[in-house]
Amino acid sequence: MSGAPNARAEGRPPVIEAAMSTDTGLRRAVNEDLALAQEPVFVVADGMGGHSAGDLASAAAIGAFAELARLGGTRRLAIADVDAALEAARRAVDVISQEAERGAGCTLTGAVLVEHDGEPYWYVINVGDSRVYQHRGGSLAQITADHSLYAELTAAGHADAATAPRNVITRALGSDDARHDGWLLPPRTGLRLLICSDGLTSELADEELRAVLTEGGRVGAVAEDLVRRACAAGGRDNVTVVVVDTISDGRSPGPAEEPLPQPEDTDDDEVDENTLEVTRPVTE
C-alpha cells in the first residue's frame, strides 16, 4: 500500500485489563464452561447440555483460540486470523462430536482485539446463546444475538414465542449450523465488555448486570460478584464471566475529557445508547 504511514497504527496500542470467573453452579456435577482471557483474545465456550462430551467440546474450541492468543503475542491480529481460529475450532469440535456416543457441541462467544484498516477494533464473534454486552457511561447493551429458538421466534413476532423452550439452540459448534455472527467495535477508553455463558443471563436480568458493571469497580471483583449472584439466584447451570476494560484506547484522553460519541449516520450499524459505541456487522 502506498502513501503516508497510518499514524494511528504507529501509535500506542490500547491498554486492556481483564478477569474471568467460573463456577459449576448448584445443580451440575461437571463444569462444561471454559473461558480464555489472554490478551488480545477473550472468549467463553459453553458445552451443550445433555451431551456426553460437552466439556471436551468446549476445551477443543478454546484450544483453537489459545493458539490465536499465542499468535497475538507475536503480531497484531486481523479479522482473517480470527476467522481461521473459528474454522479450526469448528473442525476440532466436529471430531469430538463424531467420537462421542451422543454427539457433542458448544457455544462460542467473545471479543478479539484486531487491526482493521490501520485501526484497532474489537472483533466480537458469536455462535449460540452465550453473550457479549458493551457497557459505558452507565449504559448497557447486548451486542450479540442469541441463536436460540426462543430468541428467533421472538424476533420474528411469532405468536408461540413465549412458550418456546429457552434451551433449544439453533447454532453451535458441532451442530449442522455452526456459522458465526461478527461485529466490529472501536475500543474506546471507558468501554467495558461482559462476555458470559447463559448460566449468568438465565439467572440475572440485564438491569442487575448493568448495576453491577456500573458500580462494581475493578474487573476481578466484578467478575466474581456476577458469578456469586448467579449462584445465589439459583445456580441452575454452569456460569462463566469474562470482564474486559479498555483502560486507554491509546488515542483519547479518557471519558471525562472526551465527548461521548454522537454518530450522525449509522447506515446498517447498531447504536444502542448515545454513551455506547457503534457496532459494525461483519459478514462471512
Q: Please report which confidence band the pLDDT of residue 165 belongs to, taking 50, 70 and 90 as the band edges.
A: low
User: Which pLDDT belongs to residue 253?
Assistant: 53
User: Which pLDDT belongs to residue 167?
Assistant: 75
38 φ, ψ to 5°?
-130, 105
Among 88-102, 131-145, 264-278, name the one with the lowest average pLDDT: 264-278
* Kind and range of the H or E run holding 120: strand 119-127
Q: Please report which confidence band the pLDDT of residue 242 belongs to, taking 50, 70 and 90 as the band edges.
A: very high
Does residue 249 or residue 259 have the better pLDDT? 249
Among 37-46, 85-94, 139-148, 164-173, name the one with the lowest average pLDDT: 164-173
Percent of the residues in the chain that have a pLDDT greater than 90, as a whole number: 70
Number of folded domains that form the chain: 1
Nearest residue to 242 via CA among 129, 120, 130: 130
Q: Which residue has the cell 450522525?
A: 264
Q: Which domain holds residue 93?
A: 15-282
Dist CA 226 CA 244 (whole Å): 14
Within a domain: 41: yes
266 pLDDT more than 60: no
Does residue 200 or residue 5 have the better pLDDT? 200
Q: Please report which confidence band the pLDDT of residue 154 belongs to, taking 50, 70 and 90 as the band edges.
A: low
For all residues of the chain together, what is the average pLDDT? 86
Beta 106-116 vs 33-38: how paired, if at all?
Answer: unpaired
63 pLDDT more than 90: yes
Dist CA 184 CA 239 (whole Å): 26
Q: Please report which confidence band the pLDDT of residue 101 belongs to, taking 50, 70 and 90 as the band edges.
A: confident
Q: What is the mean pLDDT of residues 224-245?
A: 98
Within a domain: 6: no
Does residue 250 or residue 173 have the better pLDDT? 173
Q: What is the mean pLDDT of residues 211-223?
A: 96
Percent of the residues in the chain that have a pLDDT greater than 70, as a whole number: 80
Cα separations in angstroms, 72 against 76, 112, 154, 183: 6, 9, 38, 19
Q: What is the mean pLDDT of residues 91-120?
A: 93
Within a domain: 9: no
Within a domain: 273: yes
Take residue 77 and report the three cell numbers written for it.
Answer: 491480529
Q: What is the mean pLDDT of residues 162-178?
A: 84
Within a domain: 174: yes
Beta-ladder partners of 43 = 36, 110
Does residue 189 or residue 10 have the better pLDDT? 189
The whole model's pTM is what? 0.86
Does residue 156 or residue 105 have the better pLDDT? 105
Within a domain: 227: yes
66 pLDDT more than 70: yes
Q: What is the mean pLDDT of residues 51-71?
A: 93
Does residue 146 or residue 150 have the better pLDDT? 146
Within a domain: 3: no
User: Which pLDDT belongs to residue 59?
Assistant: 96
Within a domain: 214: yes
33 pLDDT more than 60: yes
User: Which pLDDT belongs to residue 157?
Assistant: 74
User: Which pLDDT belongs to residue 169?
Assistant: 86
Instruction: Identify the CATH number of the domain in which residue 191 sits.
Output: 3.60.40.10
Dist CA 46 CA 106 (whole Å): 5
Q: What is the mean pLDDT of residues 156-166?
A: 69
